[in-house]
């Protein structure tokens, strides 16, 4: 039986993960936060004190277990939700995600999960690389100002230190790295639906995508 897939791509802070999680819960699908997988890789690389610039030092991924249970990522059996949301991970994740061996290993794992489950998956290259045959592809974005505001409020809600200007500059830098890397860059798939969420609330965005997805599923 072929499983269904909903792919959501977009830049940092666009609200992808929040919307994808809501949709997965509503559809009864497995939610795959690929950004969390790259964050987890970054967190473990920092913990192991490897040279982050050297792609050949990420061989630890071959023996690293990443599993999603109830929309929560466990790495090597540990819930790392909070540990991968730190400033030092934020500052290094785009570099780590630019390495070809890292991307190849995580894409392989993401495709395996999608082959075995109905999924909602979000990230930077889901519609273009990971799930090119997804039933529906969304490219979700928002202005840098709006994405900064959302990340700032999220940090405050999680009782984390938050500097608006620093977040703004970090998001601009991540956009530049993610869009300009030579291997699997952030870009809109040719058949993706463009969705600017700058002036839309999360519930509205979720509903719009849900209605589009259900129409496609029913028509198949």
Element at 196 (helix H, strand E): strand 193-196
Domains and CATH numbers, the chain: 5-213 (3.40.50.300)
| pLDDT value of residue 162 | 87
| pLDDT value of residue 149 | 94
Give the tens place of pLDDT for each residue, 13-62: 899 989 999 999 999 999 999 999 999 999 999 999 999 999 999 999 99
| pLDDT value of residue 158 | 82
- Helix, strand or coil, per DSSP, at residue 67: strand
- pLDDT confidence band for 69 (50 / 70 / 90): confident
Give the tens place of pLDDT for each residue, 100-119: 999 999 999 999 999 999 99
% of the chain residues with pLDDT over 90:
78
Strands (E), 5-107: 5-9, 30-33, 66-69, 72-75, 78-79
| Whether 138 contacts 17, CB under 8 Å | no
Most confident of 89-93, 185-189, 208-212: 208-212
- pLDDT confidence band for 155 (50 / 70 / 90): confident
Q: Rounded mean pLDDT of 93-97?
A: 92
pLDDT at 1 over 70: no
pLDDT at 220 over 80: no
Mean pLDDT of the chain: 93
pTM of the predicted model, to two decimals?
0.87
| Whether 81 contacts 73, CB under 8 Å | yes
Distance, CA of 36 to CA of 213 (rounded, Å): 24
- pLDDT confidence band for 136 (50 / 70 / 90): very high
75 is written with which tokens?
Answer: 């790495």
């Amino acid at each position: 039986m072929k499983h269904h897939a909903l792919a959501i791509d977009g830049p940092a802070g666009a609200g992808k993960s929040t919307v994808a999680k809501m949709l997965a819960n509503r559809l009864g699908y497995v939610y795959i936060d690929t950004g969390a997988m790259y964050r987890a890789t970054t967190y473990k690389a920092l913990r192991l004190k490897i040279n982050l610039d050297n792609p050949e030092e990420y061989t630890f991924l071959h023996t690293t277990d990443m599993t999603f249970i109830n929309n929560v990522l466990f790495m090597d059996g540990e819930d790392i939700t909070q540990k991968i949301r730190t400033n030092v991970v934020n500052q290094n994740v785009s570099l780590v995600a630019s390495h070809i061996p890292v991307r190849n290993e995580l894409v392989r794992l993401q495709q395996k999960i999608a082959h075995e489950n109905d999924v909602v998956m979000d990230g930077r290259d889901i519609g273009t690389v990971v799930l090119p045959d997804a039933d529906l592809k969304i490219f979700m974005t928002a202005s840098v100002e709006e994405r900064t505001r959302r990340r700032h409020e999220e940090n405050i809600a999680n009782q984390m230190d938050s500097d608006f200007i620093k977040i703004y500059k970090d998001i601009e830098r991540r956009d530049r790295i993610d869009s300009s890397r030579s291997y699997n860059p952030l870009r809109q798939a040719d058949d993706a639906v463009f969705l600017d969420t700058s002036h839309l609330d999360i519930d509205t965005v979720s509903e719009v995508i849900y209605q589009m997805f259900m129409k496609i599923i029913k028509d198949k």
